[in-house]
Structure formats: C-alpha cells, structure tokens
Amino acid sequence: MDPTDYSQVPTPDKCYVDFCLVPVGTGSVSVAQEVAEVQRLLKASGLAHTMHSAGTTVEGSWDEVMKVIGQAHTVVHRTGAVRVQTSMRAGTRTDKVQTAEQKVKRVEEILAKDGS
Amino acid sequence: MDPTDYSQVPTPDKCYVDFCLVPVGTGSVSVAQEVAEVQRLLKASGLAHTMHSAGTTVEGSWDEVMKVIGQAHTVVHRTGAVRVQTSMRAGTRTDKVQTAEQKVKRVEEILAKDGS
Amino acid sequence: MDPTDYSQVPTPDKCYVDFCLVPVGTGSVSVAQEVAEVQRLLKASGLAHTMHSAGTTVEGSWDEVMKVIGQAHTVVHRTGAVRVQTSMRAGTRTDKVQTAEQKVKRVEEILAKDGS
Amino acid sequence: MDPTDYSQVPTPDKCYVDFCLVPVGTGSVSVAQEVAEVQRLLKASGLAHTMHSAGTTVEGSWDEVMKVIGQAHTVVHRTGAVRVQTSMRAGTRTDKVQTAEQKVKRVEEILAKDGS
C-alpha cells in the first residue's frame, strides 16, 4: 500500500468499547459522583450503553464512541480531577453485527445445555 | 524499607478483577465456546463472579482470583488456542468492603435523584 | 449543568494512549505482520509514538490519537482478520504537559537516589 | 471434562504481563513515588521486567508474576492510597518461548525491509 494513502483509511462503522475511567489526585476515594456524571453524558449521547460494576460498554461508530469517552475525560476534569486515566477494550468485526446482549445470550445458551 | 523485606509483602485479602480473555490463532471468530468453558471453571472455583458482554468480574482474595484466571488460560489453551491474551482491571481498597453489586447501586441512587 | 449542553463538551487537547491490538480468528499465531502494518500507519500519522513489547504509546490530541487507532483496526481487518480486539490505557491531565519520555525519566531519577 | 477436575488445572508456566497501577484518592497527582516503590519491589523479585511510559512488563510463571503485582498493590496501599486500580495485559502461548525483546525485534525486522 502507498503510505500516502493512510490518511484516507476510514475508522470502523461499528464497534463496542468497554471502559473504566479513574480520576486521579482528587483526594476522594469514592468515584460514584464522577461515574454518575459520565452516565448522564452517555445518556445525552444517544448511544447504546450498559453500566456494570467494573465499567460501561458503549456501542456505535468508532468516532461517536471515542468522542463520548473523550468528553467523559473532560467532564471528570471539570469536577476537579487533575488527571484522568481510562482503561478500554475496543472490539470490531467485519462479519456480522452482534449486540452486547446477543454476546451474553450466546454463552448462556451453551451453558444451559450443561445441565441437560 | 529494607529490600530484603519485599518477599514478605502479602498480596491483598480482597480484590475484584474484571477480565476479558481472547484466544489468538484459532482460525475461529467466535469465542463463545471458550467463554463458556471459562464460566464453568469460575463456577467450580466457588468465587463470586458476574459475566457481562465485555468480560467477567470475579471477587475474592488476590491469590484465589489470579489462580482462576491463570487456570482459564490453561483451559482455553486446551481447546486449541496457541496464544491467549487477557485484558484485566484489578481493584483493591483498604477502607471498606464493597461488592460489585453495591458499586452499581451507589451510582444508580445518584442518577435516580436526577429526575426528581 | 443543562443536559442539552453535553454535545458541546470538547474532547481533550492532549492525551497519551497506550494500546495493544489483537487480531482474532486469523488462524495465525504471529501478529508481527499486523503490528508492522500498524507501525507504518502511525508513522504516516505524524504523531509521536513508541513501540514496546506489550503495545505502543501514542501522543496527540484525543481526536487524532483515537482516529489513528480506529484506522489501525481497519488496516488489520484488511489483512484478513475478521475480528480485532484492542486494549487501551488513555491518560489526560490538566496541570501540565508531560511527555512519555519525561514520565520514565522522573521515576528513574527517584530510583537513582536509592544507590547513593 | 468432569467439573470436579477444575481445581487441578495448573496455571501457565510462562507468561508476560504488562501492568499500569494507579493509586486513587491520594490527593496527589504525581504517581512517580509509587511507581518507583513498585520498581524496587520488582527488582527484589528477581523477575525480568521493563518499565515504559505507560506501564511495566514482567515475565515469569503466572503465579510469580501475579504474586508480585499483588504485592505492588500492598506496597502502594502502604504509601497511603486507599484504593489501587491496575490495568493489565497478560499473554501466554504454548508453541514457543519468546521474550519481550524478541517480540519488538521481530517487528523491527519487518519494518527495516520497508526502506530497501
């Protein structure tokens, strides 16, 4: 591939990203207020998302999802955190669209056969 | 601190670890069978655990939790994966014990006040 | 804050993101070719980046960095991987600009005093 | 497989783990002191390890590596952090032993041919 082409490479249309954001240097141990603020931002984004105890999974185009996680850094900085650190898992696939819900269901179906 | 003391430092009594394991080089796109096998292992371990669409959260002592995730690598290798790659988030705290369920509930309580 | 304001929240001007990309379902154990292709893409982007044995760290604005990692998914899909999974650590700070190099140097300075 | 066998599953003999530890609720933005303390612990462990700007990679048996990362949580708690959060990438393979250094070299060899 001609290296000059790289700027034209598109980002994925669909992805899921699971992220866990940690404010650093706030002096406060609880991050519940910051997590709540991020949940409000996600709701306003209109993207499908699910919170669990170790993070939140968001689904959408790569650009939309990454934009909202970048905005999450900004809103948490605004609450007073000088540093914000986020751990993410991003997944893309070209064969089919599979929602977060379907992924869990698929595994549960396999496990359901164990007892029979 | 005397460097010779480091070998005596204990690992945490309590932790939660959220992990997402990926088999590499299997030629198969679906990881549902491997995830199911890991869920059986977790069930057998007796540790509290919750599966979500982007991983599984396990709670217990550091040594117990890390042992079962290491065993998960082994069982997935046994299904034929030559490489196994896992992304983990581990959290420990010294102030109080808070379960995965309590963490989610705390955020939901804050958000519930938004509408009122 | 008015929820309608969320769409106007900017993403961070500066960030560093360390990422590790894994192609899934290729049937090949080695990921060196895919990693090399991603390095070419990073070079073409003009962003500061450093490869290490467990990933690559990129520095730039949030939007620039996330764009190039999204493009990395696309170029790896084009090599034949049906699924691509990436683990990332993203950090932002509002107090000062600190390069990746400076972070390592700061720790090395502290450790250098140990021997004296 | 008989579920009663799971307790006998071994953990991997060899692995590499790249980790990034974040102290939460310290009121301090800099984590250089905590990172330095963890580096001392790693040195005392005798395990091969390399620090980079976004974490540290450790190599050894699964049990050894996970023990030292658990100890890292403990030493950082002792510096005053009530919460410690770590992001990890763990990799195991059954086909061959490849050091962290060899992985980087393999990619650099492929890239070196680009210019020729």
Backbone angles phi, psi at D22, to 5 degrees: -125, 120
Inter-residue contact A70 to C73 (CB < 8 Å): no
Q: Which of C31, C21, C4, C30 minimizes the C-alpha distance to C55?
A: C21
Is D112 an interface residue toward C (CB < 8 Å)?
no
By the 10 Å C-beta count (0-12 exposed, 13-18 middle, 19+ buried), D40 is classed as middle
Instruction: Pull the structure tokens for residue C110.
Output: 């502290």
Tell me the C-alpha distance between A33 and B101, whole Å: 16
Tell me the C-alpha distance between C24 and C81, whole Å: 6
The whole-number pLDDT of residue C91 equals 96
Residue C15's CB is within 10 A of a number of other CB atoms, namely: 23
The whole-number pLDDT of residue C116 equals 59
Q: Choose the most confident range, by mean pLDDT, from A97-106, B96-105, D70-79.
A: D70-79
Place of tokens 């082409």: A5
Is C47 an interface residue toward B (CB < 8 Å)?
no
Mean of the pLDDT values across residues C20-49? 88
Sequential pLDDT tens for chain B (116 residues): 454 588 899 999 999 999 999 998 777 777 888 889 999 999 999 999 999 999 999 999 999 999 999 999 999 999 889 999 999 999 999 987 777 788 888 888 988 888 75
Q: Which helix (H) or strand (E) holds B65?
A: helix B62-78
Residue A79's CB is within 10 A of a number of other CB atoms, namely: 14
**CB < 8 Å to D87, chain A:** 87
Query: Which CATH class for the A11-113 domain?
Result: alpha beta
**CB < 8 Å to D12, chain B:** 70, 73-74, 77
Tell me the C-alpha distance between B4 and D92, whole Å: 30
Summarised one tens digit per residue, pLDDT across range A5-24 is: 888 999 999 999 999 999 98
Inter-residue contact C87 to B87 (CB < 8 Å): yes
How many A×D Cβ pairs under 8 Å? 31
Residue-by-residue DSSP string for chain A: --GGGGGGPPPPSSEEEEEEEEEES-S-S--HHHHHHHHHHHHHHT-EEEEETTEEEEEE-HHHHHHHHHHHHHHHHHTT-SEEEEEEEEEEESS----HHHHHHHHHHHHHTT--
Q: What is the CA radius of gyration of chain A?
A: 17
Tell me the C-alpha distance between A56 and A76, whole Å: 15
**CB < 8 Å to A94, chain C:** 77, 82-83
- The answer to whether the CB atoms of C53 and D95 lie below 8 A apart is no
Inter-residue contact B31 to B81 (CB < 8 Å): no
Q: In this predicted structure, which of A68-77, C28-37, D63-72 has the lowest mean pLDDT?
A: C28-37
Inter-residue contact C92 to C74 (CB < 8 Å): no
The whole-number pLDDT of residue A54 equals 92
Instruction: Pull the structure tokens for residue D47.
Output: 């395990």
Residue D63's CB is within 10 A of a number of other CB atoms, namely: 17
For C26, which residue in chain B has the nearest alpha carbon? B27
How many B×D Cβ pairs under 8 Å? 129
**CB < 8 Å to B20, chain C:** 85
Is D83 an interface residue toward C (CB < 8 Å)?
no
Is D42 an interface residue toward B (CB < 8 Å)?
no
The C-alpha of A61 sits at a distance from chain B's nearest C-alpha, in angstroms, of 17
Residue A44's CB is within 10 A of a number of other CB atoms, namely: 18
Nearest-10 Cα torsion for A3, C42, D88, D47: 90
Residue A78's CB is within 10 A of a number of other CB atoms, namely: 12
Residue B99's CB is within 10 A of a number of other CB atoms, namely: 12
The ipTM estimated for the assembled molecules is 0.90
Summarised one tens digit per residue, pLDDT across range C58-96 is: 999 999 999 999 999 999 999 888 999 999 999 999 987
Mean of the pLDDT values across residues A85-112? 88
Instruction: Pull the structure tokens for residue A105.
Output: 């269901």
Residue C54 CB partners (closer than 8 Å, separation 6+) = C20, D16, D18, D55, D57, D89, D91, D100
Query: Is the CA virtual torsion B62, D15, B32, A10 positive or negative?
Result: positive
Out of B53, B101, B104, the one facing A57 most closely (by C-beta) is B53
Residue A25 CB partners (closer than 8 Å, separation 6+) = A81, A82, A83, D26, D27, D28, D29
Summarised one tens digit per residue, pLDDT across range C35-46 is: 899 999 999 999
- The answer to whether the CB atoms of D110 and C32 lie below 8 A apart is yes
Is A107 an interface residue toward B (CB < 8 Å)?
yes
Tell me the C-alpha distance between B14 and B96, whole Å: 10
The whole-number pLDDT of residue A58 equals 97
DSSP C57: E
For B30, which residue in chain C has the nearest alpha carbon? C25
